[in-house]
Amino acid sequence: MLMEDAARNAAQKKRGSATLKLMRTNYSLYIMLLLPLAYFITFRYIPMTNIVVAFKDYSIFKTVWESPWAQTGGSLDLFKYFKQAFKSAEFLRVLGNTITLNFLDLAFGFFFPVILALLLNEITFRKFKRFTQTVLYMPHFLSWIIIYGMAAQIFAPQSGVINIMLRNIGLGPIHFLDDKLLWIFTYVFLGIWQSAGYNTIVYLAAITGINPELYEAAEVDGAGRLRKIVHITLPGIRQTIVVMLILNMGRILQISFDRPYALGNTLVRSVADVISTYVYRVGIVAQQFSLTTAVGLFQSVVCLIFLIGANIITEKLGEKGIW
């Protein structure tokens, strides 16, 4: 026993000194990491300490730490701003809008990339395939401001090309960006326009991972192209589809700022105002920092829980998970 312990101790010491030696010979790696670590601390971790604002009566005349903990009627009420948010009809509407828009994005936009990827895979003329991909990926690299500029142009009620064409056949004008219901349609459509092509990449990668022998075997059995799509390609990318679907469902409360902010306007605010634009408007413009920090924290925590849930589900399904 004693001997064993001693041996183990010696081994541990040896391992410890080996680590120290590695650290010494590789000291330049730590020097390299200094700037990146300083970056992550300054711009990613220190901001997290400001989350306490959600639990404080923060005023811009004091620092975060000097501000008192949140109180109602003189007694401590740490969750005051969370309660306030959930009592506010405006926040509840914003929460509903966020979920609605994300859900519609998923319901109408999710299968476009899958279908496009299957189509691209069926193009036999290589140069045409390459050209199609080049064109379809491009909108992904345009900013939402640019897309808004284009949309404002082509959907303009009087001078927009869509309404000019509609007028030629005796219809319209249709207010794509000012009518609430149509605005939602336009928002979803532009989302598909921007990202459907680019999102094929992950499915095309999955298709290249399919064993070519399966296709050869199917050919020997006399299967046509449609049968090969249905029985080999689709099952081959099924797992990727499921993972993407679950991940996207996990992001139901996550919403970018640029897209709803750029596309929205005061006429459609009741359907277009989402968490990100609300936090900007009520927090940064109207300076209600504690309330909007609470809203942001609620959103981050729910997103994190959903993401972990999504990962657990994908792992249960026999996938590798996302981390």
Partner 1 sequence: MAKEHMSRGSNAVVKSTANRIIDMIVVLVCLIAIAVCLLPMMNVLAVSLSSKAAITRNLVYFWPVDLDLEAYKSVFNDSGMRHTLWLSVVVTVTSTLFCMLMTTLCAYPLSQRRFPGRALFNTLIILTMYFNAGMIPDYLNIKRLGLLNNFWVMVLPAGISVFNMIILKSFFRNIPESLQESAEMEGASHWTILSRIYLPLSTPALATIALFYAVGRWNGFQDVRLYVTDPKLYTIQFRLYQIIMRQASTDANMEGVQLLVDSDSIRAASVMFATIPILAVYPWLQRYFVSGVTIGAVKG
Site for partner 1 in 116-135 (CB under 8 A): 116, 119-120, 122-124, 128, 131-135
- Counting Cα atoms < 13 Å in the Cβ hemisphere of 128 gives 7
Q: Is 106 a residue that touches partner 1 (CB under 8 A)?
A: no
Task: List phi, psi (to 5°) of 89.
Answer: -60, -35
Give yes or no for a contact between 297 and 57, defined as CB atoms under 8 angstroms apart: no
For the bound state, the minimum distance from the C-beta of residue 173 to partner 1, rounded and expressed in Å, comes to 12
Classify burial at 234, counting beta carbons within 10 Å of its beta carbon; exposed 0-12, middle 13-18, buried 19 or more: middle
The secondary structure of 284-309, three-state, reads HHCCCHHHHHHHHHHHHHHHHHHHHH
Cα 71 from Cα 277, distance rounded (Å): 27
> Mask of contacts with partner 1, 85-104, x by CB under 8 A?
--------------------
Q: Write the DSSP string, 106-146.
A: HHHHSHHHHHHHHHHHH---HHHHHHHHHHHHGGGGS-HHH
C-alpha angle 278-63-293 in degrees, rounded to nearest 5: 20
Q: Is 270 a residue that touches partner 1 (CB under 8 A)?
A: no
Among positions 2, 3, 4, 44, the unique one binding partner 1 when judged by CB under 8 A: 44
6 vs 59 by CB, closer to partner 1: 59
Contact residues for 166 (Cβ-Cβ < 8 A; gap 6+)? 172, 173, 174
Q: Is 28 a residue that touches partner 1 (CB under 8 A)?
A: yes
Q: Is 174 a residue that touches partner 1 (CB under 8 A)?
A: no
Determine the 3-state secondary structure of 69 from DSSP.
strand
Determine the 3-state secondary structure of 76 from DSSP.
strand
Tell me the C-alpha to C-alpha distance, in Å, between residue 228 and each of 205, 224, 243, 256, 270. Answer: 18, 6, 22, 38, 47
Piece in contact with partner 1 (CB under 8 A), picked from 73-81, 98-106, 210-218, 273-281:
273-281
For the bound state, the minimum distance from the C-beta of residue 247 to partner 1, rounded and expressed in Å, comes to 11
Q: Is 226 a residue that touches partner 1 (CB under 8 A)?
A: yes
Output the six-digit token pair for 24: 């010494």
30 vs 103 by CB, closer to partner 1: 30
For the bound state, the minimum distance from the C-beta of residue 161 to partner 1, rounded and expressed in Å, comes to 5
Q: Is 188 a residue that touches partner 1 (CB under 8 A)?
A: no
Q: Is 257 a residue that touches partner 1 (CB under 8 A)?
A: yes
Q: Is 242 a residue that touches partner 1 (CB under 8 A)?
A: no
- Can you say whether the dihedral through the CA atoms of 59, 62, 65, 70 is positive or negative? negative
Q: Is 22 a residue that touches partner 1 (CB under 8 A)?
A: yes
Among positions 2, 159, 212, 213, the unique one binding partner 1 when judged by CB under 8 A: 159
Measured from the Cβ of residue 205, the count of other Cβ atoms closer than 10 Å reads 12
Q: Is 299 a residue that touches partner 1 (CB under 8 A)?
A: yes
Contacting partner 1 within 48-77 (CB under 8 A)? 48-51, 53, 64
Q: Is 42 a residue that touches partner 1 (CB under 8 A)?
A: yes
Find the Cα–Cα–Cα–Cα dihedral 94, 97, 99, 104, rounded to 10°.
-170
Q: Is 166 a residue that touches partner 1 (CB under 8 A)?
A: no
Q: Is 314 a residue that touches partner 1 (CB under 8 A)?
A: no
Piece in contact with partner 1 (CB under 8 A), picked from 77-85, 90-98, 201-209, 210-218:
201-209
For the bound state, the minimum distance from the C-beta of residue 10 to partner 1, rounded and expressed in Å, comes to 20
317 vs 322 by CB, closer to partner 1: 322
For the bound state, the minimum distance from the C-beta of residue 209 to partner 1, rounded and expressed in Å, comes to 9
